[in-house]
Amino acid sequence: MKKILSLLAALVFTQAQAKELDKYDCGQHYCRIPGNKSSGIFRDVLIKKIFDERAFKSGAGADYEFSFPQENQEFTSFQGQMNFAELRSFFPIFKTQSKGNSLTYLDSGATAQMPQSVIDEIVAYYATYKSNVGRGMYEFAEHATSKFEEARVKVARFIGAKKEEIVFTSGATASINLAAHIWADCHIGAGDEIIVSEVEHNANFIPWQQLALKKGAVLKRVPLSDKGVVEVETLKQYLCKKTKLVAITQQSNILGTISDIAGIVSAAHAVGAKVLVDGAQSIVHRKIDVKALDCDFFAFSAHKLFGPTGVGVLYIKQAIFDQCQLCNFGGGMVYSVSPEVTEFKGMPHRLEPGTQPIAQVIGLGAAIDFIEKNINFEQAQEHETALVLKLATALQEIPGVTIISPVPGLGEHNSMVTFTSDTIHAYDIAEYLSERNVAVRAGFHCAQLYHDKLGGNATVRASFTFYNTFDEVDFLIECLKKLLLV
């Protein structure tokens, strides 16, 4: 009888706690008490610990089944020999044909294709457990929350961060704009200086241009070296005590060149400036370690990483959490609300109000799984560079063609070839290739300012990744010669 009374007392306590914690809207962590339909919802580890201790004292013990994800070991890339032909077969789009030709997709710099495993994960969410995250108490809603938070852990491991430092957004552009609103807007004022490079994508230029106009700040553009990178010594000539932010791309989406981010960060920090890195292009071609780079913000999107569109990531260094203000408000980001005051969750959930891009986040997690299982960055770089060299060598033999992107030398890497023709407009070249089921990018690539420096002409860009083949390059060269050697 005494044991039964003790268990009943524990059950009453459990239900009361669950009711009290209900208002926290599921928080970061959650658990289900075995055999009890009423779940305890814990807003953080401290409350979980208190609940465990009180339940233990009441005689219920603390033997709960927690389903929130745990921290994992450091991300390690695939160590075997990559089979490029087999990897290509994992992408269903390459089984399609148009106008009698197989698809030659040379626009991964704009968006990469998705392997079947990523598609399957996204479909599984919609088909078998579609629900909101951090809210529902039913089983498959809890499963959705687990998958969502597991993806956050995967992203953190992938770039060498803590899961609390990973904020999900709708894309790299949204990530950069979020950094502008939560940090720059309250730390940059009249007379302060922001530095970007002259080759920035509009997504990493316009937000700072507009902020500078709003605040009366000064926006400076650092020129590139002859190799198409931002040299640290050149940057130092622009840095001063007024510099508050350096916003820089790691890998150019026009040139494919990679700047020394660690050196740039060190120089910027020396004058007290923060650094935001646009990693939209680099994230897919090399191992990223934000701790080694020491950057304050790092932005990228899933769709260039063999994942879905509609989701991006903003890494925020934990050391500057207390310097960030809130800018978007709604459900899912709060612990409690009263008529007078709102108590907000900690990072990163306080920056993720409302319903998140759940299927897309889960798809991003699946894309990282695919990379970890199949991709060795060094081998992929060697393959991409060989494709670039083959195309560049052929283009150099065609009269009137000018290659804009640097041709990689010994030990260097590039994943794209950007060029112009004196005789045929870039759009006409792209249209001609499209008729033969060859996909390239033509235009200003969201970087019109740098094109203006080059003379204002649109360019053609062929961008490569591991699923591209030498046969595709041969076919592209054949098509271009038929068009340009008339």
Q: Which residues are catalytic?
A: 446
Q: What is the signed CA dihedral for 35, 41, 47, 53, rounded to 10 degrees?
A: -10
Contact 54, 13 (CB under 8 A): yes
φ, ψ dihedrals at 185, nearest 5°: -60, -30
Q: Is the dihedral of CA 454, 456, 462, 465 positive or negative?
A: positive
The kind and range of the H/E element at 141 are helix 139-159
- Paired residues of 182 in beta bridges: none
Supply the DSSP symbol for 179.
H
What is the distance between the alpha carbons of residues 208 and 321, in angstroms, rounded to a whole number?
A: 21
User: 274-278 and 297-301 as β-strands: parallel, antiparallel, unpaired?
Assistant: parallel
3-class secondary structure, 341: coil
What's the CA gap between 372 and 75, in Å, rounded? 8
- Tell which phi-psi region holds residue 440, choosing left (phi > 0), alpha (psi between -120 and 50) or beta: beta
**Which residues make Cβ contacts (< 8 Å) with residue 440, sequence separation at least 6?**
106, 107, 429, 430, 433, 460, 461, 462, 476
Cβ–Cβ < 8 Å for 414, 388: yes
Question: 3-class SS at 408?
Answer: coil
**Please, are residues 426 and 443 in contact by the beta-carbon 8 Å criterion?**
yes
Amino acid at 339: P
Could you check whether the bond before residue 348 is cis, i.e. omega within 30 degrees of 0?
yes
How far is Cα 102 from Cα 472, in angstroms, rounded to an integer? 10
> Count of CB atoms within 10 A of residue 159's CB?
22
The crossing angle, in degrees rounded to 10, of helices 45-57 and 2-21 is 160
